Structure 1
Amino acid sequence: MGRILFLIGIGLGGAAVLIALGVWQVQRLGWKQAVLADITARISAEPVALPDDPDPVADKYLPVAVTGTYAPEAIYVLVSQKQIGAGYRVISPLVTDAGRRVLVDRGFVRVDDRDAVTTPAEPVRITGNLHWPDEIDSYTPEPDLGANIWFARDLPAMAQSLNTEPLLIVARETSQSGGPVTPLPVDTAGIPNDHLQYAITWFSLALIWVAMTAVFALRGSRRRPERPNS
């Protein structure tokens, strides 16, 4: 009997821990959904003029509208699009009407269409969002400068390469076409939100733990006592 009670205690204790972890993930899910809703609202808000001194934290995702002229240089950042395949983000310098030189993520172009990318000579009006991408880690390869292929949006390095402010506008709409380039606006798709899957995992483990405890306890209660030697 003592062994069975011990198994039940272990089972209930383990299940309680697993259930608590599942509840915590449900709470985290609610928090993350609120964060994503706030980011979505900020992204789609009414655009404003380009700030003089934007803050990477306070002004991240800030919608802006700016008019200027593209410089002819460009950086091509290798990316992949679902159901489309490999391509590049086209990053170009924009000289604004106020004389500032900033970076614009013009959008996506297929690998095979890179040579068809054009730079509009006329002034262009861009509506987009300020962004400070966090895409660099220890595994990110160095850019292939000879082929002009970058493997992440390294904002300081891109700004240095194209002689601009370290400020990136990700275009949502533009008044001029740049050939086959399609805007790839900022959204929340790249922000991980796996809390529901984690919660389901913890609750499932709790159910399995309780079931296994019940099986072992049932087997222990049915075990026949050994007969004493005669």
Structure 2
Amino acid sequence: MTVTKGRRQRRPQAPSEKSDQRRHQVKRAIFAVCLLLLAAALAALGTWQVQRLAWKRDLIARVEERVHAAPATAPARADWDKVNAADDEYRRVTAAGTLANDKETLVYASTMLGPGYWVMTPLTLADGTSILVNRGFVPTDRRDPATRREGQPSGPAEITGLMRMTEPKGSLLRSNDVAADRWYSRDVAAIAAKRGVGAVAPFFIDADATANPGGLPVGGLTIIHFPNNHFIYAITWYGLAAMVLALLLFILRAEIGRSRRE
């Protein structure tokens, strides 16, 4: 006697079960879309870091070229409005005039020589305008000009150094206290106003390592360093995007397998 087995009939789903299933499907679809958007955002961040890497490398190359170029005459008053960080930061320049030592300003500094101060002195040019010059570093116990008279020439002076852009308001951690004459950044406009300096350039010059009489101030301590971690950041963002895509693929495969079983 032959027994024929019939195909197992699927139990009809109740309306509530169908409704729950649709809700679950919508939730899973929304979650999948969110993962896809997240992966796209992470990949975009990685691409942005790649672009930043190219920009940083170009910046470093340009600055290296400026630092090692022959010095040019510092921009005159007619060209001050054209000065900008992108084109002029760290350019080697020279300026000739007379140092107004009675108007020097001490700005707190932390250097490889220890804590102390930058000596910021106006250089009065032939046309009556001034350029603020960072003549270099002095230790705390030599902050009084009377302890370093040899380093304060009264005659004509020629300064060679790097153009730097003004540092308004203060440092990252501390603000300048103009009233108390305490300075934590080289704010050209504020220092000039405090010392009664008239027409002053919107930049200052970091003097080079040419020795000053008596050995102070010590110039040539400009640190040129541009952190360049953009490649690592790009790899990180792309890696996170790949992980999110892998999670999305795992979920989709699981859902496909579930649908086939059902």
Aligned length: 223
Deviates more, 1:130-139 or 1:46-55: 130-139
CA deviation after TM superposition for structure 1 residue 18, in Å: 1.5
TM-score by length of 2: 0.65
Alpha-carbon distance in structure 2 between the residues aligned to 1:66 and 1:111: 28
CA–CA distance in structure 2, aligned partners of residues 5 and 35 of structure 1: 46
Which residues in structure 2 correspond to 1:164-183 (within 5 Å)?
164-167=198-201, 168-174=204-210, 176-177=212-213, 179-183=215-219
Give yes or no for the alignment of 1:78 onto 2:112. Answer: no
Q: Is the 8 A contact 2:130 2:200 kept in 1?
A: no
CA distance in structure 2 between the aligned counterparts of 1:39 and 1:136, rounded to whole angstroms: 25
- SS where residue 93 of structure 1 aligns? strand
- Over the aligned positions, Cα root-mean-square deviation in angstroms equals 3.9
Match of 1:33 among 57, 68, 72: 57
Contact 1:95 1:102 in 2 (8 A): yes
Deviation at 1:187, TM superposition (A): 5.6
Say which SS state the counterpart of residue 149 (structure 1) adopts: coil
> Which residue is equivalent to 2:152?
120
Counterpart amino acid of residue 102 in structure 1: I
How many Å apart are 1:188 and its aligned residue? 4.2
Closer, same or farther in 2 for the Cα pair 1:216/1:61, shift >3 Å?
same
Task: Please list every run of 5 or more consecutive structure 1 residues that lacks an aligned counterpart in the other structure.
Answer: 224-230
Q: Does 1:109 align with 2:141?
A: no
Task: Quote the sequence identity (%).
Answer: 32
Higher RCO by CA contacts (8 Å cutoff, separation 6 or greater): 1
Deviation at 1:173, TM superposition (A): 3.6
Unmatched runs of 5 consecutive residues or more in structure 2: 1-23
Q: In the alignment, which residue of structure 2 is the partner of 1:20?
A: 44
Aligned: 1:158 with 2:187: no
Q: Which of 67, 73, 98 is matched with 1:49 structurally?
A: 73
CA distance in 2, matches of 1:16, 1:40: 36
Q: Does 1:66 align with 2:101?
A: no
Larger radius of gyration: 2
The structure where helix makes up a greater share of residues is 2
